[in-house]
Chain A
Amino acid sequence: MLFTRFWILLLAAIAGLSGAAMTLARKTYDHDRETDTGALVAADRRSIDEFLRRDARTRLDDLTPVAANPQLVTLMEQTVRRTDDSSSAIGTQITGRLRELNRELGPLRGDMLIAVDPRGMVVGRTGLNEGEVGQYLGGHPLVERALGGNVRDDLWEVSGVAYRMSARPVISQGRYYVGAILHGMALNASFAETIARLVPGASVVFFGPEGQYAGFTPVPERGGSAAPAVAVLSDQIRTMAGREDWRLRGVTDPILLPDHGGIVVYGQLPGGVGAAGGGVAVGRALPSMPADFLLKASKEDMARVPWATLVGLVVALALVGFAIVFVEYDSKKKRLLLALKELGKAGNDRIDPLTLSGFARDVAVGTNDALDAVVGREVERAGGRRRSVGDLESLLSAPESAGAPASAPKPPPPPGGSRPMTEAEEQAHWRDIFTQFSARRRETGETGELGFEQFSATLQRNKEQMLQRVACRGARFQVLVKQGRATLKVSPVL
């Protein structure tokens, strides 16, 4: 059964290694996905930043017809010459004109459209706080730069709402700056959704120093992981101030959300919102290999498995296992059953262990011992006595009448041929018989110490009995295994 045990151990080791390999593969997969997702989210943030840059350029370009509108320019020229900043007819006219121009912008219609004179004073506005004039805005970089002749964008937070601002100078007669036009569009949920659709599968949140402005979380695709919720991304915003990468670079490294709920990257926005600590957060779910991934395997995944190789390997392993079991168990069991069947026949009272091997020999020896115990009990009950190691007389079979098995080997010729053995030859013969007898006893599983002197005394006694019974010149001995036990056979030397 040695090979069977080894085989079981080998199969257990293969099963253990397979489990370890699957666990390792899952961990490796998850780790790789974490790295890949982090890179993807960082790329998402750059994509959003690029889109915002192009969006700002689009708004600046589309503001050109407003700033160059002849009627508006004429009205702006009049503001340069006025002496009173308070609300006046000119303010009403500019506001009305702005309202019309804003409507003509179509999808880029501003939530606020403001005209400022060269001093930075509001001279007309539509949308947010419509009609309010006289407010000074000239110190804001957006306005200051536009009044100086530049086109510029910015991000303002007004009453908790972020606005994407753009500004253009108003030029009169191609020679004079007569003010600037400010255009603002709210950074609202609709815009956040538009941005989020540029990076499918990602959540996007725009936030300011006091919290989020707008955000969008996409609905996960069938079977896909849900992107982190807007609230989850917002919860992390307050930790930004303590991050060194945020303070030094204005953008964070990919951050693993608590409970591995996803990965998020925060990036600073430009302008006033960015200076105040505002930015944009992009988050994605962290794909992980589920524990029951085998049950979720698709047909395509199943088709990629090398089934032929795996089945061949399994069959080969099974065949090797069957062969080992046959050699170590089935064949021995068959021979043992035959020996047991022979035991039941007349004239057999023991199983010869030497004809068996492995576990069958152990069973045979055990069976013989059990039979001895049973017979011993019966003999004692009948007043007889049991054979013991010290009772060597019982070891000797009756000459020619002991019923030696037909297969018993013929005795070897005595030393010296037919002449009587010398004393030295007889001692050597007995020594040889003693060695053979001891070996057979070990083979048949008999126990107990047996000394040569005791053994030789028995042989001497049997020799003398033989000389008295038979007219012979000496006696020779032979070791036999009879009925599973070592016995001696004595023969006369005539």
Chain B
Amino acid sequence: MWSTPSGAVDIRGSLQGVDTLAPSPRPDPPRYRGSYWDTPNGALTPITPRASVERDIGVVVTGPGIAEATQAMTVPVEGNRCRPGTVVVSPGTTLTLDNQDLVSHTLYAIARGQEANRVVQPETTSARTRRQITFAAPGTYELRDERSPAFRCWVVVGQGQGRVLGVNREGAFMASNLNEGAYVVRAYFEGTERGSVNATVANEAVTVQLPVSGAPTPAAANNAAPAGNTPPAPSAANNDSDGSHRGRHHR
């Protein structure tokens, strides 16, 4: 499924326990009426919505040779959410929201737990257009849409966030072209770290299993902090030589 450049070392892995992730309910704003009708089909029992493995989970690898410089990053907005569902960036990174959706979005950002504190003001982004935003302070932010209360997107801002990896529909991911050394792969869901795994790369590809859980990891829970505080930082050393890969989505 994945292609590997010659001479490069890869980390290949897969997410485990994704079924335990359930999207948290989004409270409707006052006076909001989503529809006239929303009823079971009458033939087959409805099922509970689950997280989309390939869209809602953000997987990030950190370690030697992973670029930490602040570089522009493009985040597709599609199907009323961004991809990945949790975007991890360094402070000051210019984030380009690429609206590939059918409909317009009027996105704004709040710091987690601070509903009234809009750190990014609402602005309408029509379908097939882009908008750039920047988060200067570390923290966890939530992007919301004034036009759609069900919109889902989180942004984790902090130093040393590493490279974002794409995840396919089976939950498989791959980090390619790595130097030898010790790496940490983390999984984020709804702005919170839900699992991590260590991987030591020598001269051949490494395969890891990344377990995720419905509850935040102990480390994430201990470091959970409102905006303005630095989120859990990886232990790996910074290396700018791999900056060209930063922000890309591997599908």
Can you list 24 contacts pairing A with B, beta carbon distance less than 8 Å?
A: A56-B37, A136-B78, A137-B79, A137-B80, A139-B55, A140-B80, A141-B35, A141-B150, A143-B79, A147-B49, A150-B40, A151-B41, A152-B35, A156-B102, A157-B103, A158-B102, A168-B41, A171-B43, A174-B43, A177-B47, A247-B31, A268-B31, A275-B147, A276-B147
Query: With A171-B43, A247-B31 given, can you name 5 additional A-B contacts, CB distance below 8 Å?
Result: A139-B79, A139-B81, A144-B49, A149-B45, A209-B147
Q: Are B81 and A268 in contact (CB under 8 A)?
A: no
Q: Are A248 and B127 in contact (CB under 8 A)?
A: no
Q: Are A270 and B33 in contact (CB under 8 A)?
A: yes
- B residues within 8 Å of A by Cβ? 29-41, 43-49, 52, 54-55, 78-81, 83, 100, 102-104, 106, 124, 127, 146-152, 169
Say whether A120 faces chain B, with CB atoms less than 8 Å apart: yes
Query: Nearest Cβ distance between residue B163 and chain A, in whole angstroms?
Result: 23
**A residues less than 8 Å from B32 (CB atoms):** 274-275
From the candidates A56, A150, A268, name the one contacting B41 in the complex (CB within 8 A).
A150
**A residues less than 8 Å from B37 (CB atoms):** 53, 56-57, 60, 151-153
Query: A247 vs B29: C-alpha distance in the bound complex, in angstroms?
Result: 11
From the candidates A53, A250, A272, name the one contacting B31 in the complex (CB within 8 A).
A250
Q: Are B47 and A139 in contact (CB under 8 A)?
A: no
**B residues less than 8 Å from A96 (CB atoms):** none
Q: Are B38 and A145 in contact (CB under 8 A)?
A: yes
Say whether A376 faces chain B, with CB atoms less than 8 Å apart: no
**B residues less than 8 Å from A226 (CB atoms):** none
Interface centre among A60, A140, A209, A268 (most CB of B within 10 A): A140
Q: Are A272 and B103 in contact (CB under 8 A)?
A: yes
Q: Are A270 and B150 in contact (CB under 8 A)?
A: no
Nearest residue in B to A68 (C-beta to C-beta)? B43
Interface centre among B37, B39, B46 (most CB of A within 10 A): B37
Q: Are A119 and B52 in contact (CB under 8 A)?
A: yes
Nearest residue in A to B31 (C-beta to C-beta)? A250
From the candidates B38, B102, B152, name the one contacting A150 in the complex (CB within 8 A).
B38
**A residues less than 8 Å from B41 (CB atoms):** 149-151, 168-169, 171
Query: A177 vs B50: C-alpha distance in the bound complex, in angstroms?
Result: 14
Interface centre among B32, B79, B106, B151 (most CB of A within 10 A): B79
Nearest residue in B to A250 (C-beta to C-beta)? B31
Query: A21 vs B247: C-alpha distance in the bound complex, in angstroms?
Result: 80
**B residues less than 8 Å from A158 (CB atoms):** 102-103, 127
